Amino acid sequence: MAVASTSLASQLSGPKSLSQSYSGLRRSCPKLDHSHSPRSLFQHLHSHLSLSSSRKASRAVVAMAGTGKFFVGGNWKCNGTKDSISKLVSDLNSAKLEPDVDVVVAPPFLYLDQVKSSLTDRIEISGQNSWVGKGGAFTGEISVEQLKDIGCKWVILGHSERRHVIGEDDQFIGKKAAYALNEGLGVIACIGEKLEEREAGKTFDICFQQLKAFADAVPSWENIVVAYEPVWAIGTGKVASPQQAQEVHVAVRDWLKKNVSAEVASKTRIIYGGSVNGGNSAELAKEEDIDGFLVGGASLKGPEFATIVNAVTSKKVAA
């Protein structure tokens, strides 16, 4: 409650505070601010007032801005050995996970089969990347067809490490997403700004540019989860505050509404990634437009990953 009140007070106190609230997002965007404020201020306020006024109700529901199910993905990146992954799978198999969450893990390619054959069916499997088209003479690549053959249901595309280390551009990533979707894989579509881009007031511009590349290419948004991952928060120990993450998630949903459709904006899950752990996931999950998480390092620890999955309980309000 205190977090929400601070955010509201800073945004409602006048033009100067509004500018400060969006510092690092966009230096001058009056059209966006005007359309953004009714929803982010008054609807967000209404959701908190509703929470306060319904404490005595007898059952709980998950309160989210979108209509999709809470989603938590674990990106294991280039980590693990056969032995450590066996231990991690064992921990996940014994974990008690809330039922109303879609849970996905993305092991390194070498261990996909090991994980698929030993992990509970409660958790789905994702690839960490896929090629832009059908497999063939592409040394070192993994095709969508191969991921499907081994039992993957999802693939992570557009992760900042693929963008900024490997050098994949927006259009290439969009084409990869289109091919994966056409072949029946769900896509975890990553977007996010670097620190210098945030400090230059370009957060919205960068995120919208990356979203547009997906929108221009994909055949449908039905099997897409958008992951907002500020690059400056990935693996650094720095995490966006709940207000910072919520502001970008609201803007992403509004962009989808204006540029794709209201239905897509409502149904598409927008999850947060960037040093998410068992200690901060509950507070982040309370934000109305945070529909889940994409977890890096903390997903390598079974009990902590379970805690993050179960952060969905922070969204439950009496109804």
Which whole number is the average pLDDT over 27-53?
A: 38
pLDDT band at 6 (very low <50, low <70, confident <90, very high): very low
Does 268 fall in a domain? yes
Q: Does 288 participate in catalysis according to the annotation? A: no
Instruction: Please identify which of the residues 36, 44, 48, 159 carries the catalytic annotation.
Output: 159
* Per-residue pLDDT at 93: 98
Does 271 fall in a domain? yes
3-state class percentages of the chain: helix first, strand second, coil last, to nearest 5? 50, 15, 35
Q: Are 278 and 33 in contact (CB under 8 A)?
A: no
CATH number for the domain including 81? 3.20.20.70
Does 222 fall in a domain? yes
Q: Does 159 participate in catalysis according to the annotation? A: yes
20-34, 44-58, 205-219, 278-292: least confidently modelled range: 44-58
Which whole number is the average pLDDT over 214-226?
A: 97
Beta-ladder partners of 73: 104, 294
Which whole number is the average pLDDT over 218-233?
A: 96
Does 22 fall in a domain? no
Instruction: Please identify which of the residues 124, 193, 229, 247 carries the catalytic annotation.
Output: 229
According to DSSP H, which parts of 105-202 are helical?
A: 112-118, 144-150, 160-161, 170-182, 195-199
Does 78 fall in a domain? yes
Note down the domain range covering 183: 70-93+100-112+143-318
* Residue scoring higher pLDDT (11 or 82): 82
pLDDT band at 12 (very low <50, low <70, confident <90, very high): very low
Query: How many domains is the chain built from?
Result: 1
What pLDDT digit, counting tens, does each position of 88-141 carry? 999 999 999 999 999 999 999 999 999 999 999 999 999 999 999 999 999 999
Does 263 fall in a domain? yes
Residue 31 pLDDT > 60, yes or no?
no
Residue closest to 254 by CA, chosen among 208, 294, 293, 216: 208
Residue 80 pLDDT > 80, yes or no?
yes
Does 55 fall in a domain? no
* Per-residue pLDDT at 64: 77
* Calpha distance 305→294 (Å, rounded): 11
Does 12 fall in a domain? no
pLDDT band at 260 (very low <50, low <70, confident <90, very high): very high
* Per-residue pLDDT at 40: 42
Q: Are 224 and 218 in contact (CB under 8 A)?
A: yes
* Calpha distance 254→257 (Å, rounded): 5
* Per-residue pLDDT at 63: 60
Residue by residue, DSSP assigns 55-101 as TT-S-EEE--SSSSPEEEEEE--S---HHHHHHHHHHHHH----SSE
Q: Are 198 and 155 in contact (CB under 8 A)?
A: no
